Structure formats: C-alpha cells, structure tokens
Structure 1
Amino acid sequence: MEVRPTRRLLCLAAVVSWALAVARCDPQVPCYFIFGDSLVDNGNNNYIVSLARANYPPYGIDFAAGASPTDSPPLMSLNFWVSTTSSRRSPQRAGTSSSAAPTSPPPPPASAPRPASSWYGGRIPFTGQVQNYQTAVQTLVSILGDQDTASDHLSQCIFSIGMGSNDYLNNYFMPAFYNTGSRYTPEQFADSLIADYRRHLQTLYSYGARKVVMIGVGQVGCAPNELARYSADGVTCVGRIDDAIQMFNRRLVGLVDEFNALPGAHFTFINAYNIFDDILANAASYGFTVTNAGCCGVGRNNGQVTCLPYQAPCANRDQHIFWDAFHPSEAANIIVGRRSYRAESPNDVYPMDISTLASI
C-alpha cells in the first residue's frame, strides 16, 4: 500500500464511499469493504517490512498505465464484484481522502494458531484488518453525525472476506517453517481457524456489517507451487491438501447459517472451490490450454518461485489458469467473479449470489 500503516486500509476508503451516490451511474451498494489475503490484495506493502511484494513488472501487466502493485495481471475476482456493484474498481492503494473508492484490500493475513506467512515478514492479520475497520466506523460516525445514521449506511454496504488460503499454503502445509501440520489434525486446524473467523465476524456484525460475503478457499492443492512440491507428475492435484481445504469450507457454510440467524444479517458463502473445480475439469471449454503451471515464475511448473522482477511472462496468459506460483490468472478470476456475482450453478453460492445480496 502507498500510505503508512497508521493511516492505511479502511480508514476513509469506505467512510467516504457514500460519495458514489453522485457518480455517473447509481451503484448497487454505497460501499464495499474487503478483508483478506493475497488473493484479494492489490497493495504493495511498501510501509511494511515484508518480502511479500508484487510492486514490479510483470505484475499488473495489463493495466494501461503500466505495472501496478497487485498479485495478478491485474483483475482479481473482487475487482469484478466491486466494479459491478459500485461502478468503481478497487484502488491500488488505501484511500485517505474523499475521492477514495469504497475498498481497501490488505496484505497477507494471519488467522491460524500461528501467524500465517510470517516468514515473509510483516503483514496486517485479520485482527488488524478488523481493528482498522473499527477505526473507519468511528470516523464514519463523526462524519455522518450520529451512530444510527452510520449504522443505516453500513447495513447497505457489502463486506467481502477471503481468508484461509495462506493459512494452508504458507503455514499448515509448510513444515520447513511451521509445526502446525504435526501439532494439529486437519480437523483441529480447521476448527481453530473457524473459531478465529467467528470471533472476527462477531466484531464486524457488532460494528454494522449486515451483508457479508464469505469466500471459500479454492483448490490450493492444484496451485503450481503445491504441484511443484508434492505432485509426482506435476499435474495431479494434491488430494490431502484439498481434503483439508474442504474441511474448512464446510465449516464456513456452518458459519453462514449461524450468523444468518441474527437480526438483519444476510451472510452468503462463495464456493470458490466448486467454481475452480469446474474450471479445471472443463479447461478447454473455458479457453485454457495450461492448467498446471504459472504464466511466469521459476522452477518446476513455474511454481517454485513467483514472478521475478521484469521477468517476461508467457505470451498466452489468457490461456493459463494460473498467473504465478499461487494466484489465478485474470482470465480465471473473471470467471470466478462472474459466477459469484450471478451464480451459474446451484453449487456456486449459498444461499444467494452477490447480485441478490446487493438488491436486499
């Protein structure tokens, strides 16, 4: 991100998003809050001591203005949802003025029993992201004049949460750096993550969140990095990883039911795993020719190291499901975003898609 940590993330990005009401076309929602890991992150972490950076080419290669600090080239599923519901694209930095768009994605999170991806260095964990949101709410109350007005405004906003991928990729299944894989069974690890998730959702609800999108974890076992490390043929997805992911996803669905019992709550689950499974199984029909390797990267499957600075990516990135060792390509993200916004299968979402949520 391009603002200092004390002012970054959500401080005014969502507070002033009500200015969208005077935009050229009416938005479906007045503001959009985003919490999550590098799958929704479009910041650069410049004011955080971290190795987790994507602020160099070829990242952001498809932006007209050139390279930008995002982990894809450049559209992510959240960009699609935000542009569809609010007529604005999520910014490449956290907003701190009244011209800011209604989003502000954070860097890689930590919600596991031990901090996820801490070997990369600094990050803003889920706890920190929620604290930043609480600060934003306090600012919103001061701007709008009273808590009731602020609560009414927030009840119409959409909150998207995409957590868990890094907890598995860069923690549970990284035994060289963490012992969580030996200390916890997959069921215990999923239960621990869900306990943290529930606690943060309770805080968000207490601070006005009513329309909440909970994004399931996709097929981590099919990412180039995991294929490079664990797949014998470099093609077959790693079953034990995906099985553990599904334990977590099933518990997320339970959280949806749990929170939808609360007054005014409209929570929904995006089945990213199912959507991605369909993309992989029917890759050719979606126009993909490469399913197991990054468009750029180093080593087996282009998955042992992410894109190097100024590395030339593949020439056919729209035909790759993965952009780098971990992240889906823009082409894949657009499909996930489209099917999340307007479900194309009963298994895509539960209990409603984002277009329905926005209309409530």
Structure 2
Amino acid sequence: MGCTPVVRGFLNITNEACIELVNQAALLFNSGVRSLVSHDSDSLRSHMPDASFVYVNSYKIIWDMLHHPKKYGIRETGRACCEVSPGGVLCQKEGPICSDRTKYVFFDGLHPTDVVNARLARKAYGSNSPKEVYPTNVKKLAML
C-alpha cells in the first residue's frame, strides 16, 4: 500500500499523501489474488482439491480507515506509532512509542496497529460484502 509510512518516507513524502503508483500495483496484485480464490478458478483447485479459500480485501478495509479516521477513533494516519529507524521499517530499538496505539493506523513503518488488525479480523469473519471478503466470509467457510 502506498500509504504506509515506510513507502512515504522512502519517497520523502512529508504530507499525508499516498503514493498512487504503489497503490495501483497493490490493487493489481490484489485483483490477481482475488481471481485465484474465485469459484471459477481451476488453478488452486487442481493442486488442492479439498481446500476452500477466502480473499480478504485488507487494502479496502485499511483504505477506509485511512480516509475516515474519525469514524474509527483514529487521529494519526500518516506516521508510525513508534520511531522508525531511518530508511527502515521496524521500530528503533528502545526508541519512543506513542502513548495510545489505538489512535494510529500504523504501528511501525509497514504494519498496522492492533486496532486495525482487529477490524480486519472482524471483517474477515463476519462481513457479507463481496468487496471486503470473497467468495464468502470466514464464519460461513467454517460452517461448510
């Protein structure tokens, strides 16, 4: 995703903007992954005939949180909760960490905070929107 602090930092973007070229690459990749789990896809089925798959559109779910932060109680969408090593992804060893992780989308330069991960899990389990989970959600998959 072109909105992560590491991508924005690598390209020296200091405002809240996302890098559209990276976003487009992520969307293209996700489209390919979604087609792999389609009921019509024989690619995975030929190798794993008894398997069932669910595609969770984490991009869309995180995008919504980034663009509607107040709806989720988030204050910071562009910076990491921790101090990231220069040019790095992970938190700096023994570096400062924000006081309230629930107000951030990203914990470090790449990874979402627990509040974002919890939302992803809830959507994966219970969403009925094919734009968020496809071809079904985890709850329905578990009942098969």
TM-score higher than 0.5: yes
Distance in 2 (alpha carbons) for counterparts of 1:331 and 1:250: 25
Distance in 2 (alpha carbons) for counterparts of 1:299 and 1:250: 32
Question: Whose relative contact order is higher, 1 or 2, with alpha carbons under 8 Å and at least 6 apart?
Answer: 2
> CA 1:304 to 1:251, structure 2 compared with 1: closer, same or farther past 3 Å?
same
Q: Determine the structure 1 residue equivalent to 2:125.
A: 341
CA contact (8 A) 2:89 2:110 kept: no
Distance in 2 (alpha carbons) for counterparts of 1:315 and 1:345: 34
Distance in 2 (alpha carbons) for counterparts of 1:325 and 1:223: 6
Report how many residues are paired.
139
Q: TM-score, normalised by structure 2?
A: 0.85
CA contact (8 A) 1:290 1:319 kept: yes
Q: Determine the structure 2 residue equivalent to 1:286.
A: 72
Q: CA deviation at 1:348?
A: 0.6
Q: Determine the structure 2 residue equivalent to 1:332.
A: 116
Three-state SS of the structure 2 residue aligned to 1:291 is: strand
Task: Give a deviation string over 1:179-207, Cα, whole Å, max 9, x none.
Answer: xxxxxxxxxxxxxxxxxxxxxxxxxxxxx
- Give yes or no for the alignment of 1:229 onto 2:15: no
Q: CA deviation at 1:266?
A: 2.0
Of the candidates 19, 36, 58, which is equivalent to residue 272 of structure 1?
A: 58
> CA 1:305 to 1:341, structure 2 compared with 1: closer, same or farther past 3 Å?
closer
Amino acid at match of 1:336: L
Three-state SS of the structure 1 residue aligned to 2:82 is: coil
Structure 1: which 5+ residue stretches go unaligned? 1-219
> CA 1:232 to 1:325, structure 2 compared with 1: closer, same or farther past 3 Å?
closer
CA contact (8 A) 1:297 1:304 kept: no
Distance in 2 (alpha carbons) for counterparts of 1:236 and 1:348: 23
Identical counterparts, % of pairs: 30
CA contact (8 A) 1:228 1:304 kept: no
Distance in 2 (alpha carbons) for counterparts of 1:298 and 1:267: 35
Distance in 2 (alpha carbons) for counterparts of 1:275 and 1:344: 13
Distance in 2 (alpha carbons) for counterparts of 1:344 and 1:284: 23
Aligned-residue RMSD, C-alpha: 2.1
Distance in 2 (alpha carbons) for counterparts of 1:304 and 1:261: 38
1:1-360, aligned counterparts within 5 Å? 220-230=1-11, 232-257=13-38, 258-259=41-42, 263-298=49-84, 304=88, 306-343=90-127, 345-360=129-144
> CA 1:344 to 1:323, structure 2 compared with 1: closer, same or farther past 3 Å?
farther
> CA 1:353 to 1:305, structure 2 compared with 1: closer, same or farther past 3 Å?
closer
Distance in 2 (alpha carbons) for counterparts of 1:322 and 1:344: 26
CA contact (8 A) 1:231 1:237 kept: no
Distance in 1 (alpha carbons) for counterparts of 2:35 and 2:89: 36
Q: CA deviation at 1:278?
A: 1.1
CA contact (8 A) 2:85 2:92 kept: no
